[in-house]
Structure 1
Amino acid sequence: MHTAFDRLVRFANNDGQTFYGEAPPLAFDPSSLIGEKVPVFEGGEPWSPAFKLSGKTQTIAKILSPIPHTPIYHCVGLNYRQHIVESKNPMPKHPALFNKPSDALAGPLDDISIQKEAYGLDYEGELCIVIGKDIKGLAKDEDPLDYVLGYTVGNDFTSRYWQDPKLSSYQAGYAKSFDGFGPIGPFIVSTKVVPHPGELQLTVRVNSEQRQQANTNDLVFDIKEIIKFLARGRTIRVGTIIMTGTPSGVGAFLTPPSFLKHGDVVMVEIEKIGIIKNRVIFQG
């Protein structure tokens, strides 16, 4: 999909006004952009045909989620081979899907307010896709990447307590659908900047301790396969976020298990895209 941007950042200036801007090509940590002037866009949302650089600049005061709203998250479980091994599950024949609601959306530096009932809080660093135009079914000769606005970094926060099959009836969605459980950012990086999303290094740290590290070449189902499967017989709306799965190293499968505590900071970094850092704050 052709885009007017390479590395799109959404931010507020010192007056609280919100803008889309073009982030510098070597910017990965959003904290480093605070106080920087960047070129800004006009013309509505980034998937609009009228979206273009305005010729003006604005100063970044706060980095926001790269889109203000998403209709839904479509998420793929058990999609890294090593994660399937650690979870002792069979290799899936088709993508294992669940959804997160729109209120799971959060920004790349936001504190995540955790419901006190979300016991066994875990992290899942993920490569995410942002859809740039509606899809319903794809012809055999169509390229699914023509519908991709770009790629971003995500964290699929999960309450392992509510993922217990005895409580969830083997459904993953509820455990992953609390408000703020899907922070993304800091940028949407275009497909021309990342032409090979299946060759990216992903790293997750909790309070600077490395927990997950893998390459997206370990994915069972790649980006094109996921989009084709999702769009079969149903509409995937513009602005939809697709979370492509997490690698091995989640807290639930460490020995002993290690779940997130009040004040922990989870950092997810994906090569060529950027870094998100979210602190978890337990209510009560």
Structure 2
Amino acid sequence: MKLASYRDGSRDGQLIVVSRDLRTAHFATEIAPTLQRALDDWNFIAPQLQDLYDALNAGRATRPFEFSAGQCAAPLPRAFQWADGSAYVNHVELVRKARNAEMPETFWTDPLMYQGGSDDFLGPTDDIVCGAEAFGIDFEGEVAVITGDVAMGATPAEAADAIRLVMLANDVSLRNLIPNELAKGFGFFQSKPATAFSPVAITPDELGAAWRDGMVHLPLTVTWNGKVVGRPHAGTDMVFSFPRLISHICKTRNCRAGSIVGSGTISNKDASVGYACIAEKRCLEVIADGSATTEFMKFGDTIRIEMFDEAGASLFGAIDQIVAAPEQQQ
């Protein structure tokens, strides 16, 4: 099934069920007022949402309405946890190679992960508001999952059973702020502003055969200023599956329902598929020519991130944003 959160003036929005073709929707508030409420009691509430979803797709829903991605907040407008991994080690390897730094062998066996801000997510069409172009504004196309409760010490197999929903993310980075932050030895903070998510989050079964081994085996289409700059494949070169990432989180703590876990920037060894973040393109330029020529995003730039099934249908709807200065935001 496909779920979204419609804006209603509250912090968490109203839960809606969205049709498979993303054309119609139905309020689910009589079942659960918010997505977090559904996640908190998933085994009881999910079957009821599934019944409504089936009715909506069959034309039997009582009060359907036209779905609009522009009315959507992030599926979880705020979450108890946002933990972003770096499952595509090729991306890390390129970044380090561009600055002539050796990559530890452990990066291939032990996931990298940081904990981002989860109190204020962006909806799929919200502006990327940034104080200055000089910060080095970059998009990052990712896949993310939302979990149920996962106990401390959970194995990857146990973690796999707790994956409730899948969605897309634009994990915006301010590249020129990163070096000074990392030099402090405490990780990202100011360099990682609010993350945007796709209009809908979907249950893994909606992906059919494309969901296997805890990964999404489909390309991600990234369009910058109207030009497709990448179609990297999310299942290719993903070193750490989502169950593995969740198990990593749970080594020393519980992971509670409503936690969001990101894949990190989708990156393939085959550079011909393009890129899902500007930094990777710049790294390839440095490696090949000694300097980067592709600039970061400017005010007025647009970014669109979308994933299609094998029949060409949009699965999650599109993240479709514009970069704006604070005084320009719409």
- Regarding TM over 0.5, the answer is yes
Alignment partner, residue 109 of structure 1:
125
Alignment partner, residue 259 of structure 1:
296
2:63 corresponds to which of 57, 61, 66: 57
Alignment partner, residue 153 of structure 1:
168
CA distance 1:164–1:18, change in 2 (3 Å): closer
CA distance 1:152–1:176, change in 2 (3 Å): farther
Alignment partner, residue 225 of structure 2:
207
Moved more, 61-70 or 199-208: 61-70
Mapped pair 1:271 → 2:302: no
Alignment partner, residue 76 of structure 1:
85
**TM-superposition CA deviations, 1:159-199 (whole Å, max 9, x none):** 11111157643554224432x2x111211110222332341
CA distance 1:158–1:175, change in 2 (3 Å): farther
Instruction: Please say if residues 78 and 120 of structure 2, whose CA atoms lie closer than 8 Å, have aligned partners that are also in contact.
Output: no
2:164 and 2:191 map into 1 onto residues whose CA distance is: 24
1:138 corresponds to which of 154, 158, 164: 154
- Structure 1 residue 118: Cα displacement: 6.7
Instruction: Specify the code of the residue in structure 2 equivalent to 1:9.
Output: A
**TM-superposition CA deviations, 1:32-55 (whole Å, max 9, x none):** x5xx45363523422124533476
- Structure 1 residue 7: Cα displacement: 0.9
The total of aligned residue pairs comes to 266
CA distance 1:104–1:13, change in 2 (3 Å): closer
1:166 and 1:43 map into 2 onto residues whose CA distance is: 41
Q: Which runs of 5+ in 2 are unaligned?
A: 53-60, 268-274, 283-291, 310-314
- Structure 1 residue 150: Cα displacement: 0.7
Decide which structure has greater strand share.
Answer: 1
1:193 and 1:20 map into 2 onto residues whose CA distance is: 18
- Bigger Rg over Cα: 2
1:193 corresponds to which of 203, 206, 211: 206
**TM-superposition CA deviations, 1:224-250 (whole Å, max 9, x none):** 111111111112222111111113432
Alignment partner, residue 32 of structure 2:
43
Instruction: Specify the code of the residue in structure 2 equivalent to 1:65.
Output: A
1:63 and 1:200 map into 2 onto residues whose CA distance is: 24
Instruction: Please say if residues 127 and 270 of structure 1, whose CA atoms lie closer than 8 Å, have aligned partners that are also in contact.
Output: no
What's the Cα RMSD here?
2.8
Mapped pair 1:97 → 2:113: yes
**TM-superposition CA deviations, 1:22-71 (whole Å, max 9, x none):** 212123xxxxx5xx453635234221245334765353461221123202
- Structure 1 residue 115: Cα displacement: 2.6
2:14 and 2:63 map into 1 onto residues whose CA distance is: 10
Alignment partner, residue 252 of structure 2:
233
TM-score (norm 1): 0.82
Instruction: Specify the code of the residue in structure 2 equivalent to 1:76.
Output: G
Alignment partner, residue 19 of structure 1:
14
**Counterpart of 1:219 in 2: which secondary structure?**
coil
Decide which structure has greater helix share.
Answer: 2
Alignment partner, residue 30 of structure 1:
none
2:203 and 2:229 map into 1 onto residues whose CA distance is: 28
Instruction: Please say if residues 222 and 306 of structure 2, whose CA atoms lie closer than 8 Å, have aligned partners that are also in contact.
Output: yes
**TM-superposition CA deviations, 1:242-282 (whole Å, max 9, x none):** 11111343213434132111121111112343221121212
- Structure 1 residue 104: Cα displacement: 4.3
Instruction: Please say if residues 150 and 188 of structure 1, whose CA atoms lie closer than 8 Å, have aligned partners that are also in contact.
Output: yes
Alignment partner, residue 129 of structure 1:
145
Moved more, 271-280 or 83-92: 83-92
Q: Hey, which bits of structure 1, 4+ residues long, moved more than 6 A?
A: none
1:164 corresponds to which of 151, 162, 179: 179
CA distance 1:271–1:133, change in 2 (3 Å): farther
1:247 and 1:170 map into 2 onto residues whose CA distance is: 25
Q: Which runs of 5+ in 1 are unaligned?
A: 1-5, 28-32
- Structure 1 residue 13: Cα displacement: 7.2
